[in-house]
Amino acid sequence: PGTGTGRATAKTILFGEHAVVYGRPAVAVPITAIPVTALARPVEGPASLRSALYHGRLDRIPERLRPTGAAVSAALDAVGRPSAGVAVEVRSEIPAERGLGSSAAVAAAIVTAVSAAFGRTLSPDERHELIQIAERAAHGRPSGLDARSVVATGPVWFEDGAATTLAVGGPMTFVLADTGVAGRTREAVAAVRALHEERPAHVDALLERLGGLAAQARVALGTGDAEAVGAAMTDAHAALNVLGVGDPALDHLVAAARTGGALGAKLTGGGRGGCIVAVARDADHADDLVAHLRAAGSPAAWSTHLEASR
Ligand code: MEV
């Protein structure tokens, strides 16, 4: 036993949020420029956590940070040391509640660090299961998309619980912009479930449409067709709004992206706040688009670039 370290990154869902909970495919991209790291060290005495959000004993962690506590406990269980003391320190650059995968990324870094501190290297599937324990504490029915995306090294196609690397046929630049309104994934997932119970045919048609757009986008990414990716995003945003996971602040930034020359834009992640993702024409345009979205009121915006994979 010694100090264990773990690392993960933010992610953005390009296509398939919510629909993925109902078995439809999704496309996501890790944002490697926005990392989270965790350090874990076995100690005498109780398990503790130090992060920007909390510093104290794990068994006194506030309710809203329960998923983080669950990640530590799950990793201790996995190494066969459920009641061991461990000091965990988390440093995250991922803004929380923005649909950027903060909860899954923090959990991924923690489970890797804690297991390493007790001399265990987790297999990708073991690690995934532990992240999912934390994600279940965050919102009832996580698809696993976030858990897979925050540890990926390139764009992923997610289907049936598994992620495969997606081929990219040409360079593509995406811009993310925060609405400044906290996203409410848990609430949005519950609202979709309620609507699905109430109007199954209506919701199934929307989910089918969102899954179809993910499939179209997979082809467009493979041929490097940024315009087609953008057009599919604009369609997906409309469908997500009908699904009830939109928000006026998201619509405002999607419209601003359009006037700023984006090829398309949509909400990303759980919705009801959080971020939008837009397709830029190229890397230079991405810089302009970031400035345009900031001027439209977004408190934070980033760009992320994909190179052709072949
Ligand atoms: C949240 O980032 C993505 C959702 O599809 C939920 C999930 O996949 O579990 C809304």
pLDDT in tens, 228-264: 999 999 999 999 999 999 999 999 999 999 999 999 9
Burial 110-143 (b: 16+ CB within 10 A, else e): bbbbbbbbbebebeeeebbbbbbbbbebbbeebb
Q: Which helix (H) or strand (E) holds 205?
A: helix 200-223
- Distance (angstroms) between ligand 1 centre and the Cα of 46 equals 33
- Distance (angstroms) between ligand 1 centre and the Cα of 262 equals 24
Q: Given this model, what pLDDT does residue 34 score?
A: 93
Pocket test for ligand 1, best of 103, 189, 210 (most atoms within 8 A of CB): 189
Q: What residues are paired with 12 via a beta bridge? A: 29
Phi, psi of 28 (to 5 degrees): -140, 160
Q: Given this model, what pLDDT does residue 1 score?
A: 67
CA nearest 112: which of 213, 28, 7?
A: 7
SS3 label, residue 173: strand
Active site residues: 146
Pocket test for ligand 1, best of 17, 97, 160 (most atoms within 8 A of CB): 17
Output the CA torsion sign for 52, 58, 60, 63: positive
**What are the structural domains, with CATH classification, of the chain?**
4-162 (3.30.230.10), 168-306 (3.30.70.890)
Residue 145 CA, closest ligand 1 atom number? 8
Model ipTM? 0.97
pLDDT along the chain (310 residues), means of 10: 93 98 97 95 95 94 93 97 96 92 96 97 96 91 95 95 94 96 92 97 98 98 97 98 98 98 97 97 97 98 90
Contact 69/100 with Cβ under 8 angstroms? no
Full-model pTM:
0.95
SS3 label, residue 273: coil
Q: Given this model, what pLDDT does residue 262 score?
A: 98
Distance, C-alpha 282 to centroid of its chain: 23
Enter the DSSP assignment of 103. H
Q: Given this model, what pLDDT does residue 310 score?
A: 66
